[in-house]
Structure 1
Amino acid sequence: MICNVSLQVVPNVPEEDLYPVVDKVIDMIRESGVKYIVGPMETTMEGELRFLLEIVAKAQEICLENGATRIISVVKIDYKAGGVTIDEKVHKYC
């Protein structure tokens, strides 16, 4: 079933490394092939829940591999019978 998962990662790295580490997470999301939208505070993805949660887990690993000593992540899941898409929620604003 299609759902939405929003992910915000805040890696504990020197300030000048923050955006480069977050960029690596976004690159991984892009390379995964899922539909996604980058926002100013989080990235929202669309796909099967299990696959999206694997992406969330990989994001943590990417942060650690790039110097984070700790990562604070916020994950939001929108899941309903019949599925839910990004387009149905934002189409009237685009």
Structure 2
Amino acid sequence: MAKVHVSLQILPMVERDRLYQVVDRVIEYIRSSGVRYVVGPMETTMEGEMDELLDIVKEAHRICEQEGAWRVAAVIKIDYVPEGVSFEEKLEKYR
């Protein structure tokens, strides 16, 4: 399957002073996965094979639970094109 983009906004329900700490753990996991990614102020966008990226989304939820979240909400966006997508084609005109 062609490369896709999956954007993840993860919203762990934890104590307010721990929110960024938990989100940082999720971003660290994404970094350690080896997929290409871009962190934005509201979400992180990953580039890769859909199954691999959706497995990362599932693990992000598990991480939040391990960190004590009593509930985890998420906004997930997927951009799929049969030929594949890339960060370069979307961002080159802005750099």
TM-score bracket for this pair, using the shorter chain length: over 0.9
Q: What residue is the counterpart of 1:92 in the other structure?
A: 93
In the alignment, the residues of structure 2 paired with residue 3 and residue 88 of structure 1 have an alpha-carbon distance, to the nearest angstrom, of: 12
Q: Which runs of 5+ in 1 are unaligned?
A: none
Q: CA RMSD in A?
A: 0.5
TM-score (norm 2): 0.97
Equivalences for residues 1-94 of structure 1 within 5 A: 1-94=2-95
TM-score (norm 1): 0.98
Q: Which runs of 5+ in 2 are unaligned?
A: none
In the alignment, the residues of structure 1 paired with residue 15 and residue 29 of structure 2 have an alpha-carbon distance, to the nearest angstrom, of: 21
After TM superposition, what 4+ stretches of structure 1 lie above 3 angstroms from structure 2? none
Q: Percent identity?
A: 54
Partner SS for 1:54: helix
Map Cα deviations across residues 7-65 of structure 1 (whole Å, 9 max, x no partner).
00000001100000000000000000000000000000000000000000000000000
